[in-house]
Amino acid sequence: MTSALYLPKMRNVLAGISEEQHRVDEVEQPKLLRKVRERGTPWTPEELVEACASGYYAAPPEIGRMLFTFVRATRPETVFEFGTSYGFTAIHIAAALRDNGFGMLYTAELHEGKCTAARNNLASAGVGEYAEVIQGEAEEILSSFSRRIDFLYLDGWAEFYLGVLRAAEPRLRAGALIHADDTAKFAAGARPYLDYVRDPSNGYVSTAIADGQGLELSTFTRTSERALS
Ligand SMILES: C[S@@+](CC[C@H](N)C(=O)[O-])C[C@H]1O[C@@H](n2cnc3c(N)ncnc32)[C@H](O)[C@@H]1O
């Protein structure tokens, strides 16, 4: 079976998001970084979401493939994503769930327009049935989330990672995988989160991965010939 990731409609949607992101974020990202630098007080989620409303801020394709790999290899029933944006990472996760043949992604996004765009992108990529885009504040959504979480992907804003993790904690499966992005890029914001997950008394084993320095994780997307014989 060809992986969902290689189907033409999937490739078209992912390429479209990447192209738009380069065009839009080239202008929007410097504006956002200036606002973040000039800000002297902590942001509320609503203020930050408004500040980045005109940008994409999608993860790079390598992270998309890494998420795909994690989901194919660990076969989670429930994945929770903090920060959907236009659905670039959500599509990779949903493609892996589709290849697994089971599982569901719940992805939280506060911005209404991005929720609509992500739902459309997931549907156009052919994996809409594996993902539910939930409009709202991630911590609030998690406070009433009733499913056991096998894989938690954090890609909203680093300042909120700890709050989101603590809200997810009662639902985390023993052995759940937690992937937090941009912890070096936004090191100051991520600090409380990193201190928490690196303190063994909080129940985690945690390590930093320096992406961009030669790291590759892979999973096999077809049935092994050896397994068939
Ligand atoms: C870096 S972008 C996500 C990118 C996406 N994962 C991708 O790679 O395609 C972060 C997103 O998180 C959303 N966000 C930030 N804080 C949030 C919160 N507290 N609750 C829900 N969404 C939030 C923002 O509106 C923004 O669209």
ipTM over 0.85: yes
28 CB less than 6 Å from ligand 1?
no
- Residue 152 in any domain: the answer is yes
pLDDT of 187: 84
pLDDT of 213: 32
Could you list the residue range(s) of the whole structural domain that residue 117 is in? 4-206
Q: Say if CB 171 and CB 142 are below 8 A apart.
A: yes
Q: Amino acid identity, residue 206? A: S
pLDDT of 179: 94
**Overall number of domains in the chain:** 1
- Residue 31 in any domain: the answer is yes
* Site to substitute for ligand 1 among 65, 91, 107, 110, most atoms within 8 A of C-beta: 110
User: Which of 79, 78, 90, 81 has the alpha carbon at shortest distance from 125?
Assistant: 90
User: Which of 175, 180, 214 has the alpha carbon at shortest distance from 195?
Assistant: 180
- Residue 65 in any domain: the answer is yes
182 CB less than 6 Å from ligand 1?
no
- Residue 228 in any domain: the answer is no
Q: Say if CB 110 and CB 84 are below 8 A apart.
A: no
pLDDT of 154: 94
Q: Which residues pair with 154 in a beta bridge?
A: 82, 180
158 CB less than 6 Å from ligand 1?
no
User: DSSP 3-state assignment of 132?
Assistant: strand
Which of ligand 1's atoms lies nearest the C-alpha of 59? 8
Compute the distance between CA of residue 11 and CA of residue 61 in angstroms, rounded to an integer: 11
pLDDT of 75: 97
| Cβ-based neighbours of 30, under 8 Å, separated by 6 or more | none
- Residue 194 in any domain: the answer is yes
pLDDT, tens digit only, all 229 positions of the chain: 789 999 999 999 999 999 999 999 999 989 988 888 888 888 899 998 999 999 999 999 999 999 999 999 999 999 999 999 999 999 999 999 999 999 999 999 999 999 999 999 999 999 999 999 999 999 999 999 999 999 999 999 889 999 999 999 999 888 889 999 988 888 888 899 999 998 888 888 888 887 753 333 333 334 434 444 3
Q: Say if CB 121 and CB 91 are below 8 A apart.
A: yes
For 31, 107, 119, 133, 150, the CA distances from 46, given in Å and listed in that order, are 18, 17, 21, 18, 28
pLDDT of 134: 98
- Residue 222 in any domain: the answer is no
pLDDT of 101: 96
- Residue 217 in any domain: the answer is no
- Residue 101 in any domain: the answer is yes
110 CB less than 6 Å from ligand 1?
yes
Q: Which residues pair with 108 in a beta bridge?
A: 82, 134
CATH code of the domain containing 137: 3.40.50.150
122 CB less than 6 Å from ligand 1?
no
